[in-house]
């Protein structure tokens, strides 16, 4: 079909000549993106922080990189399992009245092997995002410390403390600039398609 034929030099020239149409399309797309952001904004996202210290020097007095690697990998997996455990999710679900399946979609965990673990939560309100993130981080901290104290599957040298569970930073999960950019690029693509295919001379 003619519409699927490869673009020719004339097509490219036609595209360049239609630069005003491109500019108008980009502006229109950005305006529509801004309108969507106002009418249906993305949820808020809050971040709580917990400090995880594996105490490598105490766990392995002799400097052995191989031991360090396997120790960190093993214990990190255990801690991550605790953060996403059914027990933690059920407690959050009961406290905030959110089904576990929906709750898991609101949460995100970002952490290095050792240092600050960031607990993210999204919600339609700032209060909801802050409270969920804070509670999740505190539940994790309490559970890990309890297991360490009771020697229940975790290395006794691990230390976990909350760094920020109050007055949490929160913002929209996507900035308005993303909506503007997507709108502008989307309408640019549509305008290029219109010029190339529907504007062809018969």
Residue 126 lies in a domain: yes
Residue 194 lies in a domain: yes
In the three-class reduction of DSSP (H, G, I as helix; E, B as strand; rest coil), residue 84 is classed as coil
Residues spanned by the domain of 143: 44-172
Q: Are residues 25 and 100 in the same domain?
A: no
Residues 144-161, mean pLDDT to the nearest whole number: 90
Q: Are residues 86 and 154 in the same domain?
A: yes
Distance CA 18, CA 23 (A): 9
136, 142, 42: which is closest to 89 by C-alpha?
136
Q: Are residues 24 and 102 in the same domain?
A: no
Q: Rounded to whole angstroms, what are the CA distances from 78 to 86, 102, 155?
A: 14, 24, 10
Q: Are residues 21 and 99 in the same domain?
A: no
Residues 39-48, mean pLDDT to the nearest whole number: 88
Distance of CA 49 to the CA centre of its chain: 15
Q: Are residues 193 and 148 in the same domain?
A: no
Q: Are residues 63 and 16 in the same domain?
A: no
Distance CA 187, CA 7 (A): 20
pLDDT over threshold 70, residue 16: no
pLDDT over threshold 90, residue 175: no
Residue 2 lies in a domain: no
SS3 content of the chain, % helix, strand, coil (to 5): 60, 15, 25
The per-residue pLDDT for range 49-90, each reduced to its tens digit, is 999 998 877 766 566 666 777 888 888 999 999 999 999 999
| Close Cβ partners of 200 (under 8 Å, ≥ 6 residues apart) | 2, 11
pLDDT over threshold 50, residue 41: yes
Q: Are residues 18 and 64 in the same domain?
A: no
Instruction: Give the pLDDT score at 202.
Output: 45
Distance CA 46, CA 135 (A): 12
Q: Are residues 156 and 103 in the same domain?
A: yes
Q: Are residues 153 and 61 in the same domain?
A: yes
Q: Are residues 93 and 151 in the same domain?
A: yes
Q: Are residues 63 and 149 in the same domain?
A: yes
Q: Are residues 20 and 74 in the same domain?
A: no
Helix (H) or strand (E) holding 41: none
The per-residue pLDDT for range 97-113, each reduced to its tens digit, is 999 999 999 999 997 76
Number of domains in the chain: 2
């Amino acid at each position: 079909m003619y519409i699927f034929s490869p673009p020719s030099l004339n097509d490219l020239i036609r595209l360049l000549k239609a630069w005003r149409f491109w500019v108008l399309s980009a502006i229109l797309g950005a305006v529509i993106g801004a309108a969507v952001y106002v009418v249906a904004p993305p949820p808020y996202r809050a971040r709580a922080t917990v400090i995880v210290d594996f105490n490598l020097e105490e766990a392995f007095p002799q400097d052995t990189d191989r031991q360090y690697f396997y120790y960190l990998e093993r214990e990190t997996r255990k801690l991550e399992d605790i953060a996403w455990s059914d027990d933690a999710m059920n407690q959050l679900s009961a406290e905030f009245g959110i089904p576990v399946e929906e709750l898991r979609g609101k949460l995100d965990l970002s952490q290095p092997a050792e240092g600050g673990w960031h607990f993210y939560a999204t919600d339609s309100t700032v209060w909801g995002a802050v409270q969920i993130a804070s509670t999740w981080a505190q539940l994790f901290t309490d559970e890990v410390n309890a297991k360490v104290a009771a020697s229940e599957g975790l290395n006794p040298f691990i230390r976990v403390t909350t760094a920020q569970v109050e007055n949490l930073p929160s913002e929209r999960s996507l900035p308005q600039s993303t909506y503007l950019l997507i709108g502008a690029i989307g309408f640019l693509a549509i305008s290029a398609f219109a010029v190339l295919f529907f504007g062809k001379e018969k």
